[in-house]
Structure 1
């Protein structure tokens, strides 16, 4: 299609969409907001503010509203547009269909208006008849559906012409970002180095300036996709001095039309309550206004900070703002958006609101960022590559996302001029080939450059919606089950190779690490929205897989889809799927009620079945014979309590995940699963009564030692009579072992088995009760690769073999009743994290010296402790938590000398200790250098002491 015709087509379609948006805004104000008004008393103020606008709606002559819509629709029939590229044809068809739907809806709205008295005032329509009430609710749902269709089209239009300012969120009908994990394009150090530190400092000042501005303030950050809005906001949000200023925090990525107001409010609620006892038990059944009342009531007397990331709809802002009160305590809301009008509207919602416009990087900053990613330092670029490096960086248009992607790609190339020039030539060719597509050519090139072994791994992220970050361990097991991972080195396991695949994707900056464990390993990861668009496009093109959510109305699934992920979807969604073609099925949660497991019998060729969170009560007694293909089965957090005997048919099964289920005994057939590599079967008790927290495992049948490929086994109940402890010694390849209900007499046998596990990385051992001695006297040789050690039980003395573990990074001791001397002995261990939980009965605790690598210290339920001191110990500690030490009335001595300490968390600690830290308190000066201090006792907040 000629360029002029393409531009004209876009202009006409955008005009059409603008008309549709105006009409929909009128309808949602009249039908959507008024529909629930009789139950939503808090919206009265909002409705009253819109009263004048509603009076002006020409209900008596709706044709006037439709005139521009129809005139634009007529232009869509122009042959130069209608006969253009296939994408343009699809847009024309979709926009035309939307226009027809809007006309139908307006006809119904006009009818409702006549029934309810036309242009009467808003407040006089708060008690409509039942028929009118139901009709308006139905129209509100139609509006939601149409909005999602409009935004899907706007996405592709807005990304044309080098990502103009009208860009919309990625794939609005499918995904939203997980609230807890925030997608960073750049590290905090890179944010500081790229000339945005001034903007960040200004934002931080606005958040911290509560004295001069005690009222609620809304701060907006506006910019196109890939420019680093989320990274900038997160760098401020995570600053200790900023977090320490507010009692409650929440980060919500709004993103898409598929997230209802109720869903978003629930996500805010989960974060601000932080599992406190005030958290309503019936939150799942609350409607929007009940949720708004609950959240608003809880925040009414607490300074709070809420981030609404990637907001694109003023309607969503209207709903959420109702729940976020102006409590006069200096609370702040930060909004990021790709739509300038949204940013301005949010700013006007408060006195002193600000808008920060975040644009692309300068040429110099772009080159510096690119060189850091390509060479790890801008000073390492060979002189002969400087020119071509600048040209490649220039192709990225100043967008950090593109710069880090190209930098990561070039870091895998030889440092030679011909190779780099060839990459630039290929990039230009890609640009020409992809000119009909809507995403920057750099992103397509970054995907095309992937080795074939990584492309399927990368596309697999299509199955993880934006609300789900992929856990590293699960992702690795899934890739292996799918057959993506091939053993390339006889000295490495498939898991080792899969982890290398993941880290290469991370190194190329195609996959972003969302969370690390404290000991440094990747915990979860995700992909940026713009890369997700490529993944979706390629997945559809190759019929690789798709993901849908239950609240997307009218989702259409290809009958021959091979990999399918559903979130909160009803079982009948699968009726139109050709079961014989499906190889992977995720059913992550379900909308309501119970899901029958009978549908499993239809999917005879499944390799992966993940039912995490779905309300499934049981598996079929007879699993299908075709189940021999199944390699990955997850029933995590379901209601399943028993496994069928036919489980033995799953002879190719590699992973069985029963975590969070009610399964307490594994059938004897489990020993027939010779290919199983990961067996997870446990749940946790966490309550208010001693011993407060422990794992509940499963009993194993005889013969478990036959599973020679087993690498992870957690948690199993010790059963010496059944031979379990001795059989564990045959599992020499185990990397993680969790065992519970140990008795004192079991120690020697368990130690003998552990000594044979030379690959062991993690060991968790728990006694049968809080008073039962945990006797682990001799492990010879000790597993030298062991990184994580969790011991729960009465330890008469610390086992000496522990002190030979040079790879240990985390040790958690619970119920131990250690002497002060035993704790001092721990100082020589190379651990990064130490937790003492009901582990010490003494009155004083003096660490003295050592613990030179320690960064995290947790002290919990040391009920006799009255005094604690650090001396010269823990010089590198960064985070300290003290919980439920009821006699500790003063902060530990020596805390003023811990210069790297950034956070102190105090849970249920005495009032005397808390008051001593406040301004003017006896210990205030000791903690003045610590940016973040938080007290979690209810109705108490001392975070402001450091401001």
Structure 2
């Protein structure tokens, strides 16, 4: 095969063409004989796309391979709706072809990049790099691959043309208008929906009554029912209720799932129980199962506790019950245990001597099912009159299961409200019944209805352990690194990825598991029933897999691997040439070292996550041809990056949080595509100021990284011009800077004024007594939502009062005056923290703070009196810590009608005593469900009102 440089084409000799044609005809004849007798619904443009793929491959412009990549991307989701299993397998090969094309192009780019770096730059050098032996060899190999792929495409076109009547076919029945409206993220998730039926509400109150009755002996409550019926939702709504939490000193929620051993289960319980202590026992990692059970049992022996063991999949052995009996003792303090399970007799298996209460959680009835569906689909309690009949049919397909009802409701909220569109969905649901894995058709339809880019985002959850909640920010960065996020005009990739996640949550395919106090999703996960679909589809398409210690081997072509405590030699059986993503969670020292020594074999790797791996260095010389876009070394022992990190020019995210790196090499400034640079760790101590961020020193040239969106935390050093260069980073959304001197203030303000997209700003002075001069910031970034300032302010900068989007302010060591606190009352903050920030003896919130929900008062050591007037009408949570002169609860707290929680840390005994039964201030707080008191060692005690 020869190369025609003039036309940019691949030429094949007549002899080769004849031989290839005979071979292809034989292959096609064999395919014809294997065709099924039934027809398959195939979108008409699949064959056209295959033909276009062939054309761009034959006339491929070597200087610009984007046309090939564009067509390849379009082929990744053929959009199959139904048909014989064999035919579906053929269509899966269409997706495989597109991926093989991507792999081929990546290898060519690798060869060209390597050649360019050795020949220099410029027009002459460019010609030399094209003619270099490595590139010519890559071209020859690629020509053979192109020929092979085009043969596969010819056979595929024939298959599809015989399977589908393309001349007179209509659009697929499930082809509907895909839209994403502008409403805020709907927080009517399964968590908030709780239980809608009369029976469910009654069951909820009955369970609460069992938790709170006067029986002092330990009680166990089991909630049983089929998957998707809402057991977890019911139990979590009870567990999270402030009134219920106030009944117990210790709380633990353990998602059990397929935990197969006593050691695994006890470890999960211990981790949850000790969340409310400053740290785990020092020898926790080396404990055997008996020691873990004893440790937990001793800690809980003098505490009223509530422990939830959620989603128990199977019956437990007598050994597990015996260890649970030690870890969860009957301490005579009204402790309670709740189990939720699909196992009908799980409650009868309990070994605790006290009574076991069993509640069967049933599906919703027709009326409550329709109500739940309508709230998701129409944001109303009923359907429009013209859609009532068809809506009832869709609800009938959900069989009263809340999971299916909210999934279909979320999906239908994206559809045009027209009878033909909705009837098409009903028809498709009926065709989808009784298919693979014996899962409800609604689940499969919810997946199939997704656009291709959202399918990839959804399938990505296969890489996370079942009990793992994915952090929103990390998930978005991973999707971008994988290339799932499509560029949209006027939006950053992060903005678009946020919309993807909102859409998946709105459809209830993904569940938000935690929110920040100011409303944004913090973490998310998927339901087990959807996980079965994800595992099936990921395996079918070689998308990715989760590897555990029990796995011996995986498919040769799998592209994404997440290794959870896998065997040390597992990677030796993996075809490194296909791997694009590698998570090494809980990796051993041997397996990590083995991987690092063979990095050069992973030519196509894009995402590498080594979080928590037992490593203290990367190879000093990283190999050429690495195309990493995402690298996480979080919580490793690495203290220095190699200079060769400059080769990672495609890198978008570099996560160094929790490492020992204090200085970044000069080559960082060459990473022109980097968007997120996280490099800090926290000092944590028992004395003021408790914790603070330790940043990294940046090299000169940081201002060249114009794509940066997140930069935390950096040292404020004048010597290398960091403060001035920050002004070039106009796309920054989050900036954290530490060790500021008073003289640094004007320069920092000048730079920050250029950051019009900034959402979060954190600035800390070099010492607690160093003034923080931020008064000259003009104009202030008007999108700013979160502001964290540590250092003396004396008075608040005037620009703060212009922030109309601010939701959180945390001030530390500010030494504010009464007037400064009063001035803040008009700000729209949801959370306000004053930590060593005010030196006065009295603090009066007279009015304003209309949106405030959380107030934190910490180490105001001179404060003797605190009061509320008409301020903070919506406050829900108040925390007061280490205010040694404050001997009474703030005046006016009785008027805060929405206040649900008060937390008191190391406060005077006089205040604590006044709140107890019969105390002078008991009447002020009788409407507040939860009041908790923590002593100076952070052990917890409670006041139950």
State the TM-score, normalized to the length of structure 1.
0.78
1:646–1:669 contact (8 Å) kept in structure 2: yes
- Which residue of 181, 186, 189 corresponds with 2:190? 186
Alignment pair present for 1:335 and 2:317: no
Change (3 A) 1:371 1:317: farther
The separation in 2 between residues aligned to 1:647 and 1:924, in whole angstroms, is 62
2:190–2:511 contact (8 Å) kept in structure 1: no
Please say which of residues 569-578 and 234-243 is displaced more in the overlay: 569-578
Instruction: Look up the match of 1:402.
Output: 404
The separation in 1 between residues aligned to 2:647 and 2:448, in whole angstroms, is 40
Alignment pair present for 1:281 and 2:282: yes
Instruction: Look up the match of 1:537.
Output: 536
SS of 2:654 mapped into structure 1? strand
Deviations 1:488-540 (A, max 9, x none): 2x211111111111111111110100111111111111100000110000000
The separation in 1 between residues aligned to 2:278 and 2:431, in whole angstroms, is 60
What are the residue-to-residue correspondences of 1:816-827 with 2, within 5 Å? Answer: 816-827=814-825
Instruction: Look up the match of 2:365.
Output: 362
Alignment pair present for 1:431 and 2:452: no
Question: Shift of residue 888 of structure 1?
Answer: 1.7
Instruction: Look up the match of 1:566.
Output: 563
Change (3 A) 1:590 1:321: farther
Instruction: Look up the match of 2:621.
Output: 622
The separation in 2 between residues aligned to 1:747 and 1:902, in whole angstroms, is 40
What are the residue-to-residue correspondences of 1:457-496 with 2, within 5 Å? Answer: 457-488=457-488, 490-496=489-495
SS of 1:881 mapped into structure 2? strand
Alignment pair present for 1:201 and 2:199: no
SS of 1:341 mapped into structure 2? coil
Alignment pair present for 1:309 and 2:319: no
The separation in 2 between residues aligned to 1:257 and 1:593, in whole angstroms, is 26
Deviations 1:253-279 (A, max 9, x none): 111045x32233233223323353574
Q: Which runs of 5+ in 1 are unaligned?
A: 1-84, 87-182
Change (3 A) 1:232 1:317: farther
Deviations 1:34-73 (A, max 9, x none): xxxxxxxxxxxxxxxxxxxxxxxxxxxxxxxxxxxxxxxx
The separation in 2 between residues aligned to 1:811 and 1:805, in whole angstroms, is 11
What are the residue-to-residue correspondences of 1:102-181 with 2, within 5 Å? Answer: none
Question: Shift of residue 621 of structure 1?
Answer: 0.8
Instruction: Look up the match of 2:291.
Output: 290
Question: Shift of residue 470 of structure 1?
Answer: 1.0
What are the residue-to-residue correspondences of 1:649-728 with 2, within 5 Å? Answer: 649-728=647-726
1:617–1:638 contact (8 Å) kept in structure 2: yes
User: How many residues are aligned here?
Assistant: 755
The separation in 2 between residues aligned to 1:441 and 1:252, in whole angstroms, is 30
Instruction: Look up the match of 2:387.
Output: 385
The separation in 1 between residues aligned to 2:599 and 2:438, in whole angstroms, is 39
The separation in 2 between residues aligned to 1:288 and 1:593, in whole angstroms, is 25
Question: Shift of residue 399 of structure 1?
Answer: 0.7
1:184–1:512 contact (8 Å) kept in structure 2: no
SS of 1:759 mapped into structure 2? coil
The separation in 2 between residues aligned to 1:942 and 1:801, in whole angstroms, is 42
Instruction: Look up the match of 1:238.
Output: 240
- Which residue of 577, 580, 585 corresponds with 1:583? 580
What are the residue-to-residue correspondences of 1:625-644 with 2, within 5 Å? Answer: 625-627=624-626, 629-644=627-642
Please say which of residues 672-681 and 937-946 is displaced more in the overlay: 937-946
2:259–2:265 contact (8 Å) kept in structure 1: no
- Which residue of 765, 770, 777 corresponds with 2:768? 770
1:604–1:624 contact (8 Å) kept in structure 2: no
2:197–2:365 contact (8 Å) kept in structure 1: no
The separation in 2 between residues aligned to 1:865 and 1:287, in whole angstroms, is 48
1:218–1:350 contact (8 Å) kept in structure 2: no
2:551–2:566 contact (8 Å) kept in structure 1: no
Change (3 A) 1:251 1:275: closer
The separation in 1 between residues aligned to 2:309 and 2:590, in whole angstroms, is 31
Instruction: Look up the match of 2:612.
Output: 613
Please say which of residues 610-619 and 537-546 is displaced more in the overlay: 610-619
What are the residue-to-residue correspondences of 1:204-215 with 2, within 5 Å? Answer: 204-209=208-213, 211=214, 213-215=215-217
The separation in 1 between residues aligned to 2:221 and 2:202, in whole angstroms, is 15
The separation in 2 between residues aligned to 1:456 and 1:936, in whole angstroms, is 46
SS of 2:372 mapped into structure 1? helix
Instruction: Look up the match of 1:3.
Output: none
Alignment pair present for 1:421 and 2:423: yes
- Which residue of 236, 249, 257 corresponds with 1:247? 249
Deviations 1:84-121 (A, max 9, x none): x99xxxxxxxxxxxxxxxxxxxxxxxxxxxxxxxxxxx
2:589–2:615 contact (8 Å) kept in structure 1: no
Please say which of residues 326-335 and 602-611 is displaced more in the overlay: 602-611
Change (3 A) 1:624 1:939: closer
Change (3 A) 1:740 1:278: closer
Change (3 A) 1:568 1:914: farther
Alignment pair present for 1:515 and 2:517: no
Deviations 1:465-501 (A, max 9, x none): 123211111111111111111112x211111111111
Instruction: Look up the match of 2:229.
Output: 227
Change (3 A) 1:570 1:502: same
Question: Shift of residue 185 of structure 1?
Answer: 6.0
1:918–1:942 contact (8 Å) kept in structure 2: no
The separation in 2 between residues aligned to 1:931 and 1:780, in whole angstroms, is 45
SS of 2:746 mapped into structure 1? helix
2:197–2:364 contact (8 Å) kept in structure 1: no
Instruction: Look up the match of 1:373.
Output: 376
The separation in 2 between residues aligned to 1:256 and 1:219, in whole angstroms, is 20
Deviations 1:126-173 (A, max 9, x none): xxxxxxxxxxxxxxxxxxxxxxxxxxxxxxxxxxxxxxxxxxxxxxxx
Question: Shift of residue 556 of structure 1?
Answer: 2.7
What are the residue-to-residue correspondences of 1:737-756 with 2, within 5 Å? Answer: 737-756=735-754
2:277–2:939 contact (8 Å) kept in structure 1: no
The separation in 1 between residues aligned to 2:218 and 2:271, in whole angstroms, is 22
Change (3 A) 1:184 1:859: same
The separation in 1 between residues aligned to 2:197 and 2:761, in whole angstroms, is 42
Change (3 A) 1:527 1:843: same
Change (3 A) 1:804 1:200: same
Question: Shift of residue 887 of structure 1?
Answer: 2.1
Question: Shift of residue 570 of structure 1?
Answer: 4.5
Change (3 A) 1:663 1:369: same
SS of 2:346 mapped into structure 1? helix
Question: Shift of residue 358 of structure 1?
Answer: 0.4
The separation in 2 between residues aligned to 1:669 and 1:592, in whole angstroms, is 28
Please say which of residues 604-613 and 312-321 is displaced more in the overlay: 312-321
Deviations 1:748-786 (A, max 9, x none): 000000111111100000001111111111111110000
Q: Which runs of 5+ in 2 are unaligned?
A: 1-84, 87-186
Instruction: Look up the match of 2:38.
Output: none
Change (3 A) 1:567 1:886: farther
State the TM-score, normalized to the length of structure 2.
0.78
Instruction: Look up the match of 1:353.
Output: 356
